[in-house]
Amino acid sequence: MNPEDLDSLAEYSSPLLRGSEAVITITRPDLESNSYLSQLFALSGETSRRLTHNWRDFAPEIRSNWSGYLSAAKKESAQLFAGSSLETAHRITDNHLGVSEFALDDEGARALYVARVAQPGRYGEDDDIPAAEEAPRRITSAAYLSNGLGYTNDRPAQAFLVDLVEPGLGKSGIAGGAEVPMSTLLESPESDVHDPQFSPSGTRVSVVSSVVPDHGESDLRTTVWLLGGDHPEPLTLPRMSVNLHSWVDDETVLLVGNELTRDELDFVGQMPGLFVHDLTTGSTRRLTDPETVSVASIRPQVIDTAGDGSGAAKASVIAVVDTDGASRIIAIELAAETRTLDELNFLTDDTAVVNGFDVDGDNLVWTGETPTNPAVLDRVRLSGSGRTSAGDGEVLRAHPAPANSVLPQLLRVDGEGGAITGWLAKPSGPGPFPVILNIHGGPFAQYTHGWFDETQVLTSAGYAVVYANPRGSGGRTRAWGTAVQGDMAAPAMADVLAVLDHALANDAELDSTRLGVQGGSYGGYLTAMITAADHRFQAAIVERGYLDPDSFVGTSDIGRFFTEEYTTRDREAIARQSPLAHASQVHTPSLVMHSELDFRCPLEQAQQYYAALQRAGVDTEMLIFPGENHELSRSGQPRHRRQRFEAMLDWWDQHLGGDVDANLDDQTASAIH
């Protein structure tokens, strides 16, 4: 894959079963318009039909009587469209800052949605008040920024109800018409809300929000709030952070979330689990083991596996679990308690990377990635018990990988803390190849078996790539995830270097005299710590790095709790773990890449590190992407994503002499000094 091949990629997501059809969202980057296109498609056999035709159509929901999705015109905010079918859906909201999420009450013909509401005179609501002339922001909370959004307290996310109406003789629902149904703003918690849901009967209306308002102290506790009365009512749950919730019946709610074991900030290495809360008794039961099972933030579904209408007593939950290098679909009894990973029934194989699924009867469809395809739609046939054999799926549609794609080799390497999972991807043709050690962010995240554009761009340019899931990564156990708490660098550094050394020792096509190292976010942190201690690398790329724990506390959207939980508050411990404190020990030529609007690892992290490298006499350059945030490599402007690849290849070509000839355009080149 070459950088200019970026718009040949596609993502399949949000699968839904509709009779004999599977409805999915297909999203692709478009270099010409420098934006993303997404529409809904119905697939059946060998045929496919485009159902929607706006610039961005996504997040579909299908019920018996009503269907809906979010839709946005080019460079506009998304609004909710609903109708008797996806094909006949029409716009029913007109919120200034757009709609982010919604749920449908099929029998009640209502929608519950979340939208941000700007304070008067802010965010363009008054044409006479440009952004630079808005009133000052008075801040009293610990959290007031969010990466990819900016300030949050002056545009809170709130819940609305709206009746679903079909177009009649009036203008409601007519394209170009100004009329939409009237929405009702519900009395909501003081903090932002998300994950709107209805109970099966429609009598329960709920969202997820913070347990207590933020008045200057960090607190990660969230709960389910019941709306619709005079005041919102929180469910009394164990000390936890709820990611998602779904109603089993009007008195039982299924939760995906983290327990906060020690206190309200104890998030490091916590394994998200499945929980069932009974509103009648007030009890909460965990279905999955807190040490070995990590449930992904993909909405689970409850199915009646008995097939006799017995309901929750014999029901099973279909969910997605992150395992080492994969995200796999499982079935687990709703009555289960703390099932370990080995006790789960897996419905997909150990290389699938699932991003969404839907179940209807004995049919299950899922979307995601495989080692050979950037996007797939697969089907699994369920037995009456909800069980099947992992790997028995049928590929319904697969998006082809670009030319020159390679299949990485799986590595299992003995390490100080246990076996390490890693991969080696090599270019086609004979070596020896220069080698790049690539390090993921997080740290509680992971590389997967899925097709990865960054690996493919590097191998197509003649570089071998080694990457791994060291201690601190997700997908393993809680002990694996907490192994870097209080010592963020040493355990993970030992593991990624062990995988690199294993690859170099066992493959004669790898050139150990031409080594590079790169990483983003926590990977940028570990790259900087490695080059301060290990001088065998000819060059490095430090991208969107966590580089100064001290200033991170006051500038990052997660700084108040992330730094103190990972690096502690001990001054000597922080200094040992700070790349900025070790910058004078770096001799490796380093490209520092960062996004201008990154509020997760703010730009000042890169600026300080870049200045420190200059003071140390290191060959260094800084590349800053305007208008981008922490998600540049994943969802940034397509042209910037291409330019990022080109800048990487240009840097490696300068310092490793690979078979590359990246052509940076004038705008990108002018940013490197």
Distance CA 25, CA 110 (A): 23
Total tally of structural domains belonging to the chain:
1
Q: What is the structure's pLDDT at 85?
A: 96
- Give me the residue label for tokens 């960054």: 454
pLDDT at 304: 84
Average the pLDDT over 471-499 and give the result: 98
Q: Per this entry, what is the length of the chain?
A: 673
Q: What is the pLDDT of residues 335-345, one digit of tens each?
A: 999 999 999 99
pLDDT band at residue 105 using 50, 70 and 90 as cut-offs: very high
Asked whether 638 and 38 are in contact (CB, 8 A), the reply is no
Cα atoms in the 13 Å half-sphere on the side-chain side of 670: 4
The per-residue pLDDT for range 43-82, each reduced to its tens digit, is: 998 899 999 999 999 999 999 999 999 999 999 999 999 9
Q: CA torsion sign, 491 to 495 to 501 to 505?
A: positive
The crossing angle, in degrees rounded to 10, of helices 490-506 and 522-533 is 70
Structure tokens at 568: 């502690």
What pLDDT, on the 0 to 100 scale, is given for residue 672?
Answer: 28
What does the DSSP 8-state code read for residue 8?
G
pLDDT exceeds cutoff 60 at 200 = yes
* Dist. CA 215–CA 223, nearest whole Å: 18
Q: Please, are residues 319 and 304 in contact by the beta-carbon 8 Å criterion?
A: no
Residue 174 has pLDDT above 90, yes or no: no
- Confidence at residue 657, expressed as pLDDT on a 0 to 100 scale: 84
- So what's the pLDDT on residue 658? 55
**Residue 27 in domain:** no
Residue with tokens 């940034």: 636
pLDDT in tens, 563-579: 999 999 999 999 999 99
Q: Pairing state of beta strands 56-62 and 67-72?
A: antiparallel
**How many other CB atoms are there within 10 angstroms of residue 517's CB atom?**
29
What pLDDT score was predicted for residue 179? Answer: 80
Mean pLDDT in residue range 164-183: 69
How crowded is the C-beta side of 570, counted as CA atoms within 13 Å? 10
pLDDT, tens only, 581-623: 999 999 999 999 999 999 999 999 999 999 999 999 999 999 9
Burial-class residue 412 by CB neighbours within 10 Å (0-12, 13-18, 19+): exposed
Question: How high is the pLDDT of residue 312?
Answer: 61
Q: Does any domain span residue 333? A: no
Q: What would the pLDDT profile of 637-662 be if each residue is shown by its tens digit?
A: 999 999 999 999 999 999 998 553 33
| Residues 6+ away with beta carbon under 8 Å from 286 | 259, 273, 274, 275, 337, 338
The answer to whether residue 667 sits within a structural domain is no
CA distance 367 to 11: 9
pLDDT of residue 434: 98
Alpha-carbon separation of residue 378 from 11, 13, 357, 360, 375 (angstroms):
14, 11, 9, 14, 10
Structure tokens at 315: 């029901």
For residue 673, pLDDT beyond 90: no
Q: Is residue 564 part of a domain?
A: yes
Residues 221-228: contacts with CB under 8 Å, at least 24 apart: 221/260, 221/264, 222/257, 224/253, 224/255, 224/277, 225/188, 225/189, 225/193, 227/159, 227/186, 227/187, 227/188, 228/161, 228/186
Peptide bond into 443 cis (omega under 30): yes
Confidence (pLDDT) at 662 = 34
Query: Tell me: the pLDDT tens digits for 205-264?
Result: 999 999 999 999 999 999 999 999 889 999 999 999 999 999 999 999 999 999 999 999
Going by DSSP bridges, is the β-strand pair 157-163/409-415 parallel, antiparallel, or unpaired? Answer: unpaired
Backbone angles phi, psi at 481, to 5 degrees: -70, -30
Q: Per DSSP, which regions of 84-149 are E strands?
A: 90-91, 99-105, 110-116, 145-146
CA nearest neighbour of 105 among 218, 196, 16? 196
Residue 23 located in a structural domain: no
pLDDT of residue 313: 63
Q: Is residue 246 part of a domain?
A: no
pLDDT at 664: 33
Query: At CA 47, angle to CA 46 and CA 50, rounded to 5?
Result: 145
DSSP conformation class of 343? G
Q: Would you say 192 and 240 are in contact if contact means Cβ atoms under 8 Å apart?
A: no
Residue with tokens 């203008």: 171
**Packed helices 453-460 and 638-656: angle between N→C axes, nearest 10 degrees:** 40
Which tokens belong to 396? 């319904």
Residue 382 lies in a domain: no
Q: 12 CB contacts (<8 Å, ≥6 apart)?
A: 24, 25, 26, 367, 368, 375, 376, 377, 397, 399
Q: How far apart are CA 139 and CA 557, in angstroms?
A: 14
Give me the domain span that covers residue 551: 409-656
Residues 6+ apart with CB under 8 A from 138: none
Q: From CA 539, how far away is CA 513, in angstroms rounded?
A: 12
Cα–Cα distance measured from residue 503 to residue 267, given in angstroms and rounded to the nearest whole number: 34
Query: Which pLDDT belongs to residue 307?
Result: 56
Q: Could you tell me the pLDDT band of residue 171, with boundaries at 50, 70 and 90?
A: low
Strand partners of residue 433: 510
d(CA 633, CA 141): 30
- Please give the average per-residue pLDDT across 145-151, as a whole number: 96
**CA-CA-CA-CA torsion sign (244, 199, 354, 150):** negative
Q: Are 218 and 250 in contact (CB under 8 A)?
A: no
Return the higher-pLDDT residue of 661 and 465.
465
Tell me the two tokens of residue 546.
């966590």
pTM: 0.94
pLDDT at 666: 36
What is the average pLDDT score of the chain?
93
User: How does pLDDT run across 346-383, given as a tens digit for each residue?
Assistant: 999 999 999 999 999 999 999 999 999 999 999 999 97
% of the chain residues with pLDDT over 90: 90
Span 400-421, pLDDT tens digits: 999 999 999 999 999 999 999 9
- Residue at 620 is within a domain: yes
| Count of CB atoms situated within 10 Å of the CB of 158 | 20
Q: In this predicted model, what pLDDT tens digit does every residue of 278-333 receive, in sequence order?
A: 999 999 999 999 999 999 999 999 998 665 555 566 899 999 999 999 999 999 99
DSSP string, 602-645: -HHHHHHHHHHHHHTT--EEEEEETT--TTHHHHS-HHHHHHHH
**Tell me, what CATH number does 585's domain have?**
3.40.50.1820
CA distance 338 to 666: 57
pLDDT of residue 165: 79
